[in-house]
Each structure stands twice: as C-alpha cells, then as structure tokens.
Amino acid sequence: MKLCLATNNRHKIEELQAILGNKFELVTLEEIGCFDEIPETQPTMEGNSLQKAQFVYDNYGINCFADDSGLEVDALGGEPGVYSARYAGEERSHAKNIEKLLANLEGIENRSAQFRAVITLILDGKINQFEGIVRGKIIDELRGNGGFGYDPVFVPEGFDKTFAEMTMDEKNPISHRGHSVAKLVEFLANT
Ligand code: IMP
C-alpha cells in the first residue's frame, strides 16, 4: 500500500522507514510534489498531527499519515510538550532547547518525563489516531551522539543509556514513535 508520510523531518523519515519495513511503500512529500510549508498551529499533538495529515490529504488526495511528538516533563507540568521543537525559540535549535530544559530543571529532584507521539492516519477520508508513550528521566549532562532533539538527556525506564547512546535498532522498539507506529501497523494489517 502506498502511504505518504507528511513530514519533512529527515530523522523521522529514517526512523519510520526502519520501523515500517517494506510492508508499505512510503512516499515522501517531495515525491508527491508537495513543497508547501505545512501548517502546524494547533495547541495539542493530536491537533497538529491531524492538521498536517488533513492538509496533505485535502491538497494532494493521497492516503497519508502525520505524526507529532514531544517531550513532556512531569515537574514542568508537561512542558515543553507540543512546543518541544521551538522551546528555546523559532530557530528550533536542539542544543538551545536542551540548555533551556536543563536550566529549568536545575535543583529539581523529580526528573520524570515522557516522550509522546500521536499519529493521525487518513485512509480514504477516514481519520484514525494512534498514541505512543515512553517513560524515562532527564539527566543533567548530555550523553551520546545518535538520534536528535532531546535524545542526549533522555534515559528510558529500564535502561542506563540515553536515546542518543542507542542505535536505531535499540531505540525504535521502545520509543514513543515505535509504539505509535506499531499501533498504526496493526490497524493497517486489519483493514
Ligand atoms: P515535531 O516535529 O513537531 O513532532 O516536533 C518534535 C520535537 O519533539 C522534536 O523537534 C524534538 O525536540 C522532540 N522530539 C520528538 N521525538 C523525539 C525523539 O525521539 N528524540 C528526541 N526528541 C524528540
């Protein structure tokens, strides 16, 4: 089945392709000729992923899915959440986002956090959403060179390594995106 993945985030495309394997023919926005700035203006991950998928479905008429994800830190009331990418400003710098996060957590003992991902699939006009969560904690130093975003400071529950110290094969089965995609795959297998 041909499915367009409504994102321009190269890391997400790589991660999702690895998780989905070759059961589905993933087509990128570029491949369908979509070079638009896809709107992402909603206050929730559910809203944003729906907005992105709806934009592609309405304008390009192709079955598609979009994901929206973020880091939710317990002691910060769920921040940065939907604003994870631009936590430290519109330039969307991973380094500055981490710096701001660690500064806001200075002196705070509760380091519990979770990554959350929401996928919206639009299949023949019908909307379905799938959520994935991975719990963990924020450490106060950066470790590892892999992954992206907040990976160097996030240690998933049950592990000693940060996401940035893991290979994709280690991260994907336990990650928020991995869990949400597993639900998507299960749904697609049953349709
Ligand atoms: P999105 O592209 O709007 O979904 O924004 C997601 C943002 O959340 C990213 O830019 C990262 O800051 C953060 N994020 C989401 N997933 C991950 C992950 O797997 N590792 C590290 N950071 C992530």
Q: What is the pLDDT of residues 13-57, one digit of tens each?
A: 777 777 777 777 788 899 899 999 899 999 999 999 999 999 999
CA 84 – ligand 1 centroid, Å: 6
- Mean pLDDT, range 69-98, rounded to an integer: 96
pLDDT tens, 159-180? 999 999 999 899 999 999 999 9
Full-model pTM:
0.92
Taking the centre of ligand 1 as the mean of its atom positions, its distance from the CA of residue 43, in whole angstroms, is 15
* One-letter amino acid for residue 146 of the chain: G
pLDDT of 180 reads 95
Ligand 1 binding pocket, CB closer than 6 Å: 9, 68-71, 84-85, 97, 115, 147-151, 163, 175
- For residue 83, the surrounding DSSP H or E stretch is none
Pairing of strands 25-27, 64-73: unpaired
Residue 80: beta bridge partners? 72
- Strands, E assignment, the chain: 2-5, 25-27, 64-73, 79-80, 112-123, 126-138, 154-156
Give yes or no: 68 in active site.
Answer: yes
The single residue of 36, 58, 68, 160 carrying the catalytic annotation is 68
**Closest approach atom of ligand 1 to CA 48:** 3
Average pLDDT over residues 83-93: 94
